[in-house]
Amino acid sequence: MNTDTQAPNLTMAIRTYPHTQALKRGELTDPAVRLTFEDVEPIHRAFAPMARRQAYDLSELAIVTYLQAKAYGKPLVLLPFVVAARFQQGCLIRSAQRGPLAVGDLAGKRIGVRAYTQTTGMWVRAILSQTYGVPLERVEWVAFEGAHLEEYRDPAFVRRAEPGRNMLSMLRDGELDGAILGNDLPDDPAFAPVIADAAAADRVWYGQHRYVPINHVVVVTKAVVDAYPRAVRAVYELLLRGKDAAARADAGKPDKLLAGYDALRRPLEETLAFCEAQKLLRRRLSVDEIFTDSATILGEAAR
């Protein structure tokens, strides 16, 4: 039964960022919804439970995990709001003690990544292929975890590290030639970026693509969308208010928090193409198919 006339209490797993802090503190509210925030640290530990069994009503979710969930028919709906984005070219590192590793020499090398499906890994591979011409299937990708979606199987050119092995230890000991890390990127002189001036390379990439690579978005279960459309719209508007409240600190910088269908269309089209090229999706998806899930309830608020 639809109880949208009363404000539902919805559970939400989302990291504390400058743009979500006021929301999580209860400083941003809407009478149409009450939110209970689940404490999940690190936030990527919320992704598998959300994708597999819809453990929360709303959740931050890696964009690759969401796209895989959509392709597998999971009852999740994307809200067109980027909650985390990052330039990626500094995320590929090598051992500083073992000499240089040129991007052009990556074919045949062993590159570690937490999971082949990790969003940071997808972006690094996309850039390596598109910008530097690296033949991705000739790299030996070494994964330490499986996908958030149990149905997914890694391609044949991905091998799994032995249980209990540590990626940075393997990199330090020469068992890996390189490694991709995201939020856990080490601040340690023992490691160096493979792309020497990654910041300059990222500026060039941004000049060509005009968006910051998307890491995490916000999703809601279809059951909540069907039962409480007004509450879901209120959450989306609260996210926008949080972005506006934090925008002053990022004035003059590229917008990492893209919001709305128009702003997200081209970045999502490219993200889908990268995922398809890397054998991450079981079927082809379109941006319109993704947006249709929320367009009726969000309407002009998400244009």
* 152-210 pLDDT per residue, tens: 999 999 999 999 999 999 999 999 999 999 999 999 999 999 998 999 999 999 999 99
Neighbours of 214 (CB within 10 A): 24
- Using a 10 angstrom Cβ sphere, with 0-12 exposed, 13-18 middle and 19 or more buried, the burial of residue 221 is buried
What residues have CB less than 8 Å from 238, skipping those under 6 apart?
Answer: 23, 28, 29, 30, 33
Neighbours of 163 (CB within 10 A): 6
The candidate with the shortest Cα–Cα distance to 122, out of 46, 45, 217, 213, is: 213
End-to-end CA distance of the chain: 29
Q: What pLDDT shows up at residue 1?
A: 44
Yes or no: say if 256 and 250 are a contact pair by the CB < 8 Å rule: yes
How many helices (H) and strands (E) in the chain?
10, 11
Q: What DSSP string runs through 128-139? A: HHHHH---GGGS
What the block records as the tokens of 43 is 């936030």
The predicted model gives 40-60 an average pLDDT of 98
The predicted model gives 145-155 an average pLDDT of 97
Domains of the chain and CATH, by start? 9-86+212-302 (3.40.190.10), 89-209 (3.40.190.10)
* pLDDT single digits (tens) 79-126: 999 999 999 999 999 999 998 899 999 999 999 999 999 999 999 999
Distance CA 6, CA 124 (A): 45
Yes or no: say if 249 and 25 are a contact pair by the CB < 8 Å rule: no
Among 3-12, 87-96, 203-212, 266-275, whose mean pLDDT is lowest? 3-12
Find the angle CA(261)-CA(263)-CA(119) to the nearest 5 degrees.
95
Residue bearing the bigger pLDDT, 99 or 55: 55
* pLDDT single digits (tens) 209-264: 999 999 999 999 999 999 999 999 999 999 999 999 998 777 788 999 999 999 99
The candidate with the shortest Cα–Cα distance to 88, out of 198, 190, 171, 252, is: 198
Distance CA 272, CA 214 (A): 12
Question: What are the DSSP E strand ranges found in 16-175?
Answer: 34-38, 58-62, 76-85, 92-95, 110-113, 140-143, 158-160
Yes or no: say if 180 and 91 are a contact pair by the CB < 8 Å rule: yes
